Copies of this chain bind each other. A is one copy, B any other.
Amino acid sequence: MTESTPGPVHPTADAVAALRPLPLSATTVADDSLWGTWLRRNAVRTLPHCVSQLHAAGAIDNLRRVTGEADGDFQNMWFADSDVHKTLEAAAWQLARTPDDAELRAFLDTTAALLAKAQGEDGYLNSYYTVVKPEQRWRELHKSHELYCAGHLIQAAVAASRAGVGAEIVTVARRFADLIVDRFAAANDVDGHPEIETALVELYRVTGHRPYLDLAARLVDLRGHGLLNPEHFGAAYLQDHVPIREADAVAGHAVRQLYLLAGVVDVAVETHDGELLAAAQRLWEDAFGSKTYLTGAHGSRHRDEAFGDPYELPADRAYAETCAAIASFQWNWRMLLATGDVRHADEMERVLHNAIAGSTALDGEHFFYSNPLHLRTGHDGSHEDAPSQRLSWYSCACCPPNLARLMASLPGYAITTDDTGLQIQLYTAGEIETTVDGSPVRIAVRTGYPWDGRVELTVTTAAPITLSLRIPGWCPTEDVRLDGNPVEPVDGYVRLRRDWTRDMTVTLDLPMHGRIVRPHPRIDAVRGCVALARGPLVYCVEQADLPDGVTLEDVRIDPSVPPVAGRATEDGPVTLTVAGGVRTADSALYGSAIEDHTDPITFSALPYFLWGNRKPGPMRVWIPVAATE
């Protein structure tokens, strides 16, 4: 990694930005932290698994069909190229951090060469629309995903460029991007699946080539005018029902909506378009005010992988797609940089530690596509979109390589900077080495977060800076201590304007007791229930942790008894022990009087992100409150 490898999302110096990202190279995550285990697992297990699956599922061969190196039928989804591109992006970020990974380097080089060979003379690159449907090129944009795939190719190129690996991908992506500009700069066409917008802005940031930004801005504003064939699911599914500047509610396919919003923020900050940024903020209030799961996930409906009505947040039928969670993380990062609003960091922390972290198995090689908050006794887990356990791959394999690229670049999302100092947004043990206003700064962070709430920061710098520590939204502020004293955060941060020149250590204590979380009364699906949380982690109860003979559906909680945190082993997860009851009587499906007597039991809850790592079985985040409350 070079001295200053920008991470994903690197606004130009001219962009509107309350905060700026640190280079990916500035932050090192401690190996023995939770993040450290995630990063290592991603490098050692998930990324090689993705590479292997790209071959097994035919995604590489699809491209080799273009070059004549493979024959047979096109395999799996028509947008399978994007799985290759996302894995390439992941490889580039990973190589920035572990440049000596020869196998990964070989994958990157070989695949880049394959893409170059598969690229048309005019720059076009899409295996499906070259091999299977050449006559339909650019002609069925509502479903073709051609610009979506191009967007992921461009993002791979942006990563390769910033990481200083794989110049060939950059060449390929620019040739394709130039063709796209030629084709779309004056056309009234958009793609059914957003992604190209944010990719083009990032390519503009890398290249300084203004037409990329202009096209991104054009595509953002063309959307919402009914240009797309609405086909099965209607215009809102494609966010084509209302122009973004007029929209007041997130709607339709969740991943599309959230990818679009990432691009909207990118365009807004680079073009100084306050109205566009205000639209994104308005939609953020809608999404996070009434359409977000406790785990940070989005998407309430399986039918069209879509947002639901306000407060329609069924735990059992949560679609909560992994890619939507990743998209939310990426959108919130852009919003945080643009506005400095701490709530965006809160949402990043929530979705990362729950919906995103929970989608990958402990082995790093099995993944959820959909991340429900409740798996019922008797659940038929035979559907790919609602399985009862993580699968090693999917016919629509968008999620696993998306996880790989996020995890490979995760250190780039932890810390922000401005002219006066640094902001610690997401807590993990590790080191930060950067410069502020030209002066070198080094910060060592020692913490067992999120298992432990103590964060010790030792700051070494020659010049005075302001160190801002985020006080998470989940935190009862009155219980926070800094060096043992109460704090008074301003706008969600404790801002320390100190003389750090003497190598000073500060100790932040975030209260880490088990919490009872209650839902908004309009969320019908979890009325009469509470959830358990500790720090940024949401907890869940699994059948596997219940006494023999107790069915999860019959378990009740007594929220008046505080949950007790503890660890079974020194380096195991912190679990919560909870008091409650178990229903003893059965009853009719409907009746005038329903017996709901419970016998007392005690049971254990574990972090949601660890669910489903034992034998498949029922799980629930929201636990009904015992009738006696």
Contact = CB atoms under 8 A, between A and B. Distances in A.
Looking at A234, A516, A592, the one whose CB has the most chain B CB atoms below 10 A away is A592
A378 interface: yes
Interface stretch (A288-296, A432-440, A502-510): A288-296
Contacts of A85: none
Contacts of A308: 317
A376 interface: yes
Contact of A376 (B251, B310, B374): B310
Interface in A343-386: 374, 376-380, 382-383, 385
Interface in A199-230: none
A344 B292 CA distance: 42
A589 B289 contact: yes
A517 B592 contact: yes
A525 B588 CA distance: 16
A523 B594 CA distance: 12
B317 A520 contact: no
A317 B316 contact: no
Nearest to A525: B525
Interface string A101-119: 0000000000000000000
Interface stretch (A138-146, A323-331, A526-534): A526-534
A317 B317 contact: yes
B251 A521 contact: no
Interface string A574-614: 00000000010001111111101000000000000000000
A385 B528 CA distance: 29
A256 interface: no
Given A236-B380, A380-B236, A524-B526, A518 B591 contact: yes
A624 B521 contact: yes
A312 interface: yes
A309 B376 contact: yes
A58 interface: no
A553 B594 CA distance: 24
A444 to B, nearest CB: 33
A380 B594 CA distance: 34
A301 interface: yes
Interface in A215-268: 233-234, 236, 241, 249, 251
Contact of A592 (B312, B379, B516): B516
Nearest to A594: B518
A241 B380 CA distance: 12
A376 B312 contact: yes
B236 A382 contact: yes
Given A289-B589, A314-B314, A309 B236 contact: no
Contacts of A236: 380, 382
A377 B312 CA distance: 10
B590 A521 contact: no
Contacts of A184: none
21 contacts: A236-B382, A288-B589, A301-B317, A302-B302, A302-B303, A303-B303, A303-B385, A309-B316, A311-B376, A314-B525, A316-B524, A317-B317, A516-B592, A518-B592, A520-B588, A521-B583, A521-B587, A521-B594, A521-B624, A525-B525, A531-B590
Shortest Cβ-Cβ A-B pairs, 3 listed? A528-B528, A302-B303, A527-B528
Interface of A: 233-234, 236, 241, 249, 251, 288-290, 292, 294, 301-303, 308-312, 314-317, 374, 376-380, 382-383, 385, 476, 515-529, 531, 553-554, 583, 587-594, 596, 622, 624
